[in-house]
């Protein structure tokens, strides 16, 4: 696995302090992106949380996911959550060390009081002493939240900078990208009230590995969810239910549970799903990969967007129009950029590969944020994409109508068939996954070659139409 090491520096550790006005939670920020560019320690908010105990529990749940490896629970992960200020809300995001669980806490306008929310994205320090202090927050304790350094600390602090060396596997960044692509295909499948939500979630296993028994499925039944042994229309996959353990922290505060997933046919293979707990002024969402032993990084949903030069140019254009919106409007971006809605979506997918947009299932909309990663790493370290480019560059692709033939490095010839825009291949990858984890390298190479041939013949216009 390819890794890089990122130095995450804070002015001091995050702390929870007691004062005359109640508890004061100071979350320290590292270098982050803002509308003014990179800032060493941006400040996004200083005010009160309207539901302090609930917010503390939800923030700990996000930190739990950042510290967990559900596939290999004996190994502890260490990745500080990311916070984004979107003007009307704060979003805290994390990914599990195994790459299979994505967590996001949205503290909405109703959950914040007494301060303006800034714009930008950065890491926040959530250390062990802070976790212990947050777990002791009482129901009646007022809680003042500061995200970013205090003004005085910025000008007078002379002490050493607190620095962490965080190993960042490339699959984590790829996981962020794949999770937002997959979530964009979800619809709301069920909503349980507080009582049913608590009963259902408490009935799930908290430990062990359930993947060996095959994927679990649940289907809406009255006011609750009932288990089923196989996929049926309307069902939602619950892969590795023990991975929802972080939700246990907020169960007593939950007002509802919403479940999201893609449309499935009878007997369908395991899919990803999203589980959202509603809290006063907040939403806590866990998105699960299709298998407890399978991270999001290999799902292949972003490959088509990465494989086209058109999407790269479109993404560059769309990126300058983003303004840290909490809800990106596709139609408005299309009107401002002159691109079709389809091309705007493809551009957003590509921007998601560098962590520049995420997707909110509750609002069925993308949002702008800037993860602190190198924008070129996903493409550079995606093996199928690299292999496809190499095949095209070596002249290994031949096009014959709806059929493309690809001569692999080992001399084997693979046939790629185009049926109504959906590519299938004769290779073992396709036989194993049937497109369930994105296109194989041969299908990608054929798609690249077709686009190159169309551009050479002048049949593709820059506005997305055909000539």
For every residue of 380-407, DSSP letters joined together read HT-HHHHHHHHHHHTT-EEEETTEEEEE
Residue 154 clears pLDDT 70, i.e. is over it: no
Quote the strand ranges of 59-137, DSSP E.
82-86, 90-95, 101-107, 112-113, 119-123
Asked if 194 and 255 count as a contact pair (C-beta separation under 8 A), the reply is yes
pLDDT digits 0-9 by tens, 94-112: 988 888 899 999 999 999 9
List own/partner pairs for 72-81 with CB under 8 A and 24 or more apart.
72/98, 78/164, 78/166, 78/167, 79/166, 79/168, 79/172, 80/8, 80/30, 80/123, 80/124, 80/125, 80/126, 80/164, 80/166, 81/123, 81/124, 81/126
Question: Across the strands, what pairs with 10?
Answer: 162
Return the pLDDT at 73. 63
Which of helix, strand or coil describes residue 101? Answer: strand
Q: In this predicted model, which residue has the larger pLDDT, 306 or 446?
A: 446
Residue 159 clears pLDDT 50, i.e. is over it: no
Return the pLDDT at 466. 36
Residue 467 clears pLDDT 50, i.e. is over it: no
Separation between Cα atoms, residue 90 and residue 105, nearest integer Å = 8
Residue 4 clears pLDDT 60, i.e. is over it: no
Separation between Cα atoms, residue 30 and residue 50, nearest integer Å = 26
Q: In this predicted model, which residue has the larger pLDDT, 72 or 275?
A: 275
Separation between Cα atoms, residue 132 and residue 129, nearest integer Å = 5
pLDDT band with cut points at 50, 70 and 90 for residue 374? low
Which of helix, strand or coil describes residue 331? Answer: helix
pLDDT band with cut points at 50, 70 and 90 for residue 284? very high
Q: Which of 311, 330, 326 is nearest to 358 (CA)?
A: 326
Separation between Cα atoms, residue 414 and residue 417, nearest integer Å = 10
Residue 300 clears pLDDT 90, i.e. is over it: no
Which of helix, strand or coil describes residue 112? Answer: strand
Main-chain phi, psi angles of 33, to 5 degrees? -95, 140
Question: Across the strands, what pairs with 26?
Answer: 15, 146
Question: Could you give the angle at the alpha carbon of 34 between the alpha carbons of 117 and 350, nearest 5°?
Answer: 110
Separation between Cα atoms, residue 64 and residue 327, nearest integer Å = 27
pLDDT band with cut points at 50, 70 and 90 for residue 463? very low
Asked if 52 and 114 count as a contact pair (C-beta separation under 8 A), the reply is no
pLDDT band with cut points at 50, 70 and 90 for residue 157? very low
**Helix, strand, coil shares, percent, the chain, to 5:** 30, 30, 40
pLDDT band with cut points at 50, 70 and 90 for residue 76? low
Return the pLDDT at 161. 55
Q: What is the CATH number of domain 178-298?
A: 3.10.150
Q: Among the ranges 42-51, 177-186, 352-361, which has the highest mean pLDDT value?
A: 42-51
Residue 312 clears pLDDT 70, i.e. is over it: yes
For the chain, domain boundaries: 7-167, 178-298, 383-467
**What's the token pair of residue 207?**
């430990």
- Mean pLDDT, the chain, whole residue set: 83
Separation between Cα atoms, residue 64 and residue 96, nearest integer Å = 8
Q: Let me know how many helices (H) and strands (E) the chain has, helices first.
A: 13, 26
Which of helix, strand or coil describes residue 416? Answer: strand
Return the pLDDT at 153. 35
CA 309 to centroid of chain Cα atoms:
24
Asked if 14 and 27 count as a contact pair (C-beta separation under 8 A), the reply is yes
């Amino acid at each position: 696995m390819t890794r890089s090491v990122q130095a995450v520096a804070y002015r001091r550790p995050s702390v929870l302090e007691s004062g005359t006005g109640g508890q004061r939670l100071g979350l320290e920020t590292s270098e982050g992106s803002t509308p003014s560019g990179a800032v060493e320690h941006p400040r996004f908010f200083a005010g009160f949380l309207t539901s302090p105990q609930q917010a503390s529990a939800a923030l700990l749940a996000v930190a739990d996911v950042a510290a967990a490896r559900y596939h290999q629970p004996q190994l502890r992960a260490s990745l500080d959550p990311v916070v984004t200020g979107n003007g009307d809300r704060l979003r805290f995001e994390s990914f599990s060390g195994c790459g299979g669980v994505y967590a996001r806490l949205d503290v909405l306008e109703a959950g914040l009081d007494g301060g303006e929310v800034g714009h930008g994205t950065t890491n926040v320090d959530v250390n062990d002493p802070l976790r212990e202090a947050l777990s002791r927050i009482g129901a009646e304790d007022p809680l003042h939240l500061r995200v970013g350094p205090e003004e005085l600390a910025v000008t007078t602090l002379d002490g050493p900078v607190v620095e962490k060396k965080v190993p960042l596997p490339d699959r984590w960044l790829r996981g962020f990208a794949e999770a937002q692509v997959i979530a964009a295909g979800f619809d709301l499948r069920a909503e349980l009230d507080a009582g049913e939500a608590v009963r259902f979630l408490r009935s799930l296993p908290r430990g062990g590995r359930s993947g060996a028994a095959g994927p679990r499925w649940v289907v809406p039944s009255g006011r609750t969810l009932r288990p089923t042994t196989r996929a049926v229309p309307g069902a939602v996959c619950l892969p590795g239910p023990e991975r929802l353990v972080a939700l246990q922290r907020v169960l007593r505060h939950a007002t509802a549970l919403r479940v999201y997933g893609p449309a499935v046919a009878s007997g369908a293979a395991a899919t990803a799903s999203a589980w959202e707990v509603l809290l006063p002024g907040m939403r806590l969402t866990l998105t699960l990969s299709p298998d407890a032993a399978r991270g999001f990084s290999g799902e292949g949903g972003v490959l088509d967007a990465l494989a086209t030069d058109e999407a790269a140019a479109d993404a560059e254009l769309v990126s300058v129009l983003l303004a840290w919106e909490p809800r990106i409007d596709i139609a408005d971006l299309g009107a401002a950029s002159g691109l079709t809605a389809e091309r705007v979506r493809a551009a957003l997918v590509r921007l998601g590969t560098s962590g520049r947009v995420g997707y909110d299932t509750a609002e069925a909309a993308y949002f702008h944020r800037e993860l602190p990663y190198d924008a070129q790493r996903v493409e550079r370290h995606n093996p199928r994409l690299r292999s496809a480019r190499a095949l095209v560059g070596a002249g290994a692709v031949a096009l014959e109508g709806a059929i493309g033939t690809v001569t692999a490095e080992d001399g084997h010839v693979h046939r790629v068939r185009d049926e109504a825009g959906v590519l299938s291949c004769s290779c073992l990858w396709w036989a194993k996954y049937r497109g369930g984890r994105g296109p194989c390298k041969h299908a990608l190479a054929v798609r690249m070659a077709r686009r190159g041939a169309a551009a050479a013949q002048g049949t593709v216009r820059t506005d997305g139409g055909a000539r």
